[in-house]
């Protein structure tokens, strides 16, 4: 209890946003218990009703309860963003680590592909990929991964280039350590903290990008409750039923802000700049809270 209080006292901002993030995740997990109506049930007699005691956020063009759809949209958007971040982190980090450690033609091929991807506007390229694959939530995730992995690959490569010439790496090579062991024991161990912090900071951005593709019709398809698609459905009724856009838009704004601020405060706590000091001190810590075994 005392350690928890000290952590809260020293990191109030992180604690506050962490609690808010837990609330958002809880809303996604317990959506069936929180929702007041079936989010898929269309009631023609309730079409475009304004917010009241029965329908807290009003109803949409088919008479579906908007509050329930926004709550279920939390599950859809958050699950998609978590899957997207996980895949992007794994693919980008793996390619960057291989490019940085092995160098040569491996590095040239991966980095040239990365340069080619970066030369295109990200959202435009994601729309093109999603258009080729076809409109669906999973294809939207694949399209964003195809655009976003370059950031992680370049970051991982730069970290590996700083690490692989260290004395402890040379000593491991001279003592006959296998490549797999070196990658696992030193390279991955030293690069992943920064990569994970970067991924945590990108959750909000990924939610926004998924919502953008769904808004444009390349992501979630009816009747799946997803914030971007709900915004697209509501824009035709902006003057007659503004709540159809207001509440999904508010949900996007709040959740994206919470996860962006959580990522920023997490970065401040871990302080990736301390990683190099940790390696120089024997590799027994990186950042303010993460400890490693001595190298």
CATH of the domain at 216: 1.10.3720.10
In a domain, 235, yes or no: yes
Q: Are strands 290-291 and 285-286 parallel, antiparallel or unpaired?
A: antiparallel
Mind listing the pLDDT tens digit of every residue in the chain (295 residues)? Answer: 445 545 555 678 888 889 999 999 999 999 999 999 999 988 888 888 999 988 999 999 899 999 999 999 999 999 999 999 999 999 999 999 999 888 889 889 999 998 888 888 888 888 888 888 888 989 999 999 999 999 999 999 999 988 887 778 778 777 777 878 888 888 888 888 888 888 888 898 999 999 999 999 898 888 889 999 999 999 888 888 999 999 999 999 999 999 999 888 887 776 544 444 444 333 333 333 333 333 3
Question: In whole angstroms, what is the distance from residue 228 CA to residue 230 CA?
Answer: 5
Is 48 a domain residue? no
Range of the domain at 80: 10-41+55-291
Cα(163)–Cα(213) distance, rounded to whole angstroms?
38
How far the first Cα of the chain sits from its last, in Å, is 32
Q: Which two tokens stand for residue 189?
A: 């161990």
The distance from CA 7 to its chain's CA centroid, rounded to whole angstroms, is 25
Is residue 251 one of the residues assigned to a domain? Answer: yes
Calpha distance 166→283 (Å, rounded):
12
Distances (CA, A) of 15 to 4, 27, 194, 287: 10, 18, 20, 18
Residue 141 pLDDT: 92
Q: For the chain, percent helix, then strand, then coil, each to nearest 5? A: 75, 0, 25
Q: Is there a domain that residue 129 lies in?
A: yes
Q: Which residues pair with 209 in a beta bridge?
A: none
Q: Would you say residue 139 lies in a domain?
A: yes
Q: Dihedral of CA 40/44/48/54: which sign? A: negative
Kindly state the DSSP code that residue 288 receives in the 8-state scheme: T
Total number of domains constituting the chain: 1
Q: How far apart are CA 133 and CA 81, in angstroms?
A: 19
Instruction: Identify which of 168, 179, 62, 157 has the alpha carbon closest to the alpha carbon of residue 103.
Output: 157
Tell whether 1 is covered by a domain.
Answer: no
Neighbours of 4 (CB within 10 A): 9
CA 25 centroid distance within chain: 13
Residue 2 lies in a domain: no
Q: Is residue 282 part of a domain?
A: yes
pLDDT of residue 9: 56
Rg over CA atoms, the chain: 23
Q: Report how far residue 163's alpha carbon sits from residue 182's, in angstroms, rounded to the nearest whole number.
A: 11
| Helix spans in 60-166 (H) | 66-102, 104-118, 122-133, 137-163
Q: How would DSSP label each residue in 83-113?
A: HHHHHHHHHHHHHHHHHHHH-HHHHHHHHHH
- 292 Cβ partners below 8 Å, 6+ apart? 189, 278, 283, 284, 285, 286
């Amino acid at each position: 209890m005392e350690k928890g209080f000290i952590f809260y006292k020293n990191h109030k901002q992180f604690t506050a946003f962490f609690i808010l993030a837990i609330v958002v995740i809880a809303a996604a997990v317990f959506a069936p218990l929180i929702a007041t109506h079936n989010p898929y049930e269309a009631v023609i007699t309730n079409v475009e009703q304004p917010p009241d005691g029965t329908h807290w956020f009003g109803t949409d063009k088919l008479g579906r309860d908007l509050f329930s759809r926004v709550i279920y949209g939390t599950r859809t958007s958050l699950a998609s963003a978590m899957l997207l971040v996980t895949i992007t982190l794994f693919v980008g980090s793996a390619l960057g680590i291989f490019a940085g450690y092995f160098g040569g033609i491996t590095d040239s091929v991966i980095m040239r592909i990365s340069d080619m991807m970066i030369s295109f506007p990200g959202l435009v390229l994601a729309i093109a990929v999603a258009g080729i694959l076809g409109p669906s939530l999973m294809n939207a995730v694949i399209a964003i991964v195809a655009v976003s992995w370059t950031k992680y690959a370049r970051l991982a490569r730069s970290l590996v280039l700083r690490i692989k010439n260290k004395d402890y790496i040379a000593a491991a090579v001279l003592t006959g350590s296998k490549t797999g062991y070196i990658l696992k024991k030193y390279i991955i161990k030293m690069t992943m903290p920064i990569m994970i912090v970067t991924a945590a900071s990108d959750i909000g951005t990924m939610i926004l990008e998924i919502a953008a593709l769904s808004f444009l019709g390349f992501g979630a398809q009816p009747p799946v409750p997803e914030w971007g698609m709900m915004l697209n459905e509501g824009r035709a009724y902006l003057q007659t039923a503004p709540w159809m856009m207001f509440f999904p838009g508010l949900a996007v704004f709040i959740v994206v802000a919470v996860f962006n601020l959580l990522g920023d405060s997490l970065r401040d706590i871990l302080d990736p700049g301390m990683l190099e000091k940790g390696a120089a001190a024997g590799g027994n810590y990186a950042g303010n809270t993460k400890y490693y075994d001595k190298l």
